[in-house]
Amino acid sequence: MKFLDQAKVYIKSGAGGAGCISFHREKYIEYGGPDGGNGGKGGDVWAEAVNNLNTLIDYRYQQHFKAKTGVHGMGRNRHGAKGADVTLKVPPGTQIYEEDNETLICDLTEEGQRFLIAKGGNGGFGNAHFKTSTNQAPHRANPGLPADERTIWLRLKLIADAGIIGLPNAGKSTFLATVSAAKPKIADYPFTTLHPNLGVARIDGRGLVIADIPGLIEGAHEGVGIGDRFLGHVERTRVLLHLVSGNEEDVAGAYTTVRKEVEAYAEELKDKREVVALSQVDSLSDEELKDKTAALKKVSGGAPLLLSSVAHRGTDDVLRAMIEHIETVRSSEEPEQVDPRWQTSRLDTSRDG
């Protein structure tokens, strides 16, 4: 399955059905009176987070979603039926933006969350509704309210406990393949990873979800290389694993380059917890390892972990370090304040009115 993390979608709710002007006509019944029914409400457009999706690829092939119009009212006091709703099913972690791709409408982070993104028009009243003691035969009915139509953007930010960052060929995909069942593409050329990969790793009976994103290079925040587009997938993580390849001539410069791009992308990533590891150390001599470890320690502010995914060296230490940071962050996090509209949306099944 191809990975797609952004899609532009056109949605339109259903217009309300028109009310009916009708008068009862039956033999032997004099002055039958008005009996025009009300129009039905138009269908709504909802967004719902479902757990069996991890990409927005479905919205590459269908971009237009329209709810059904409410049925018009009819004579004999028959009210029109409500138009059928449309539900956009998206992966947890999907954000929905206005057409400007900047104004956030909602953020669906949990399975089962629903949000009303386009409300159907109410149906119009039939002439039976307007009957009064002084107006026994009203020749009046309301049209249904119009539909709500708009263009929206869907943007997926993967929900993971840890995110892996680093220059291309720093060993990110190899590490993910070693510690989890994920099978990312691995090769010895830059930008082998073209889209994020997710994997579940376990250590000491504890599990964590790890996101591997394409490598960053200098100028990524300006669109150089693949750019910083995929950094959004590590915004929700609790810890970053920063891999610096031992094959780099200047490990300090490699570390600094990635940190600058991360901080240029989003200020909140600057203060996110970070585990620094010198990867591919199996290819270094003892002297090279000592020099590069010292250089990386000086620039990162702490002793880096030593890692060789191929030789399974240091992988457990890295996982344990990430788990400790994740549990520390979890314990300090307060329960999220859920928008009351989302809670109502998840519980309300009638949605009429």
User: Domain residue spans in the chain?
Assistant: 6-156, 162-332
pLDDT value at position 345? 43
Please report which residue ranges of the chain form alpha helices under DSSP H: 58-61, 172-179, 251-265, 267-270, 286-300, 315-332, 340-347
For the chain, give percent helix, strand, coil, nearest 5: 25, 25, 50
Residue ranges in the chain modelled with pLDDT below 70 = 1-2, 187-194, 218-229, 333-353
Residue 156's DSSP bridge partners are 94
DSSP 8-state assignment for residue 324: H
Q: What is the DSSP string of 291-312?
A: HHHHHHHHHHSSPPEE-BTTTT
Task: State the amino acid at position 336 in one-letter form.
Answer: E
pLDDT value at position 228? 63
Q: Are 174 and 197 in contact (CB under 8 A)?
A: no
Q: Is CATH 3.40.50.2000 correct for 6-156?
A: no
pLDDT value at position 215? 75
Q: Which fold has domain 162-332?
A: Rossmann fold (3.40.50)
Helix (H, G, I), strand (E, B) or coil at 170: coil
Equal CATH topology for 6-156 and 162-332: no
Q: What is the C-alpha to C-alpha distance for residues 113 and 106, in angstroms, rounded to an integer?
A: 10
Q: What is the DSSP string of 130-160?
A: G--SS-SS----PPPPPPPEEEEEEEE----
